[in-house]
Amino acid sequence: MATLFIADLHLSEDQTALNRQFLAFLQGPASQAEALYILGDLFEAWLGDDLIPDFCQPFIQALHNLHQQGVPVYLQHGNRDFLLGETFCTLSGTQLLDDAVLIDLYGIPTLLMHGDLLCTDDIDYQNMRAQLRNPAWIADFLAKPPAERIAMARALREHSKLASSQKSEQIMDVNPQTVRQTLREHELLQLIHGHTHRPAQHRLDLDGKTAWRHVLPDWQSQPGLLYCDTRGCQLRELASL
Q: Which residues sit at the interface with Mn ion, rule CB under 5 A? A: 41, 78-79, 195
Residue 128 and residue 237: Cα distance in Å, rounded?
33
Backbone angles phi, psi at 202, to 5 degrees: -90, 130
Q: Which is nearer to Mn ion, 59 or 125 (CB)?
A: 125
Residue 146 and residue 133: Cα distance in Å, rounded?
19
Could you tell me the smallest distance in angstroms from the CB atom of residue 187 to Mn ion?
26
Q: Which is nearer to Mn ion, 105 or 119 (CB)?
A: 119
Q: Are the C-beta atoms of residues 146 and 139 closer than 8 Å to each other?
A: no
**Of 175, 217, 196, 198, the residue nearest 7 (C-alpha):** 217
Q: Which is nearer to Mn ion, 41 or 121 (CB)?
A: 41
Could you tell me the smallest distance in angstroms from the CB atom of residue 195 to Mn ion?
4
Q: Which is nearer to Mn ion, 149 or 195 (CB)?
A: 195
**Of 101, 124, 131, 126, the residue nearest 116 (C-alpha):** 126
Could you tell me the smallest distance in angstroms from the CB atom of residue 80 to Mn ion?
6
Q: Which is nearer to Mn ion, 79 or 92 (CB)?
A: 79
C-alpha gyration radius of the chain:
18
Residue nearest to Mn ion (CB): 195
Could you tell me the smallest distance in angstroms from the CB atom of residue 121 to Mn ion?
16
Strand, coil or helix: 19: helix
Could you tell me the smallest distance in angstroms from the CB atom of residue 116 to Mn ion?
6
Could you tell me the smallest distance in angstroms from the CB atom of residue 230 to Mn ion?
30
**Of 219, 238, 212, the residue nearest 227 (C-alpha):** 238
Strands 190-193 and 108-113, bridge-based pairing = parallel
Q: Which is nearer to Mn ion, 16 or 164 (CB)?
A: 164
Residue 119 and residue 111: Cα distance in Å, rounded?
16
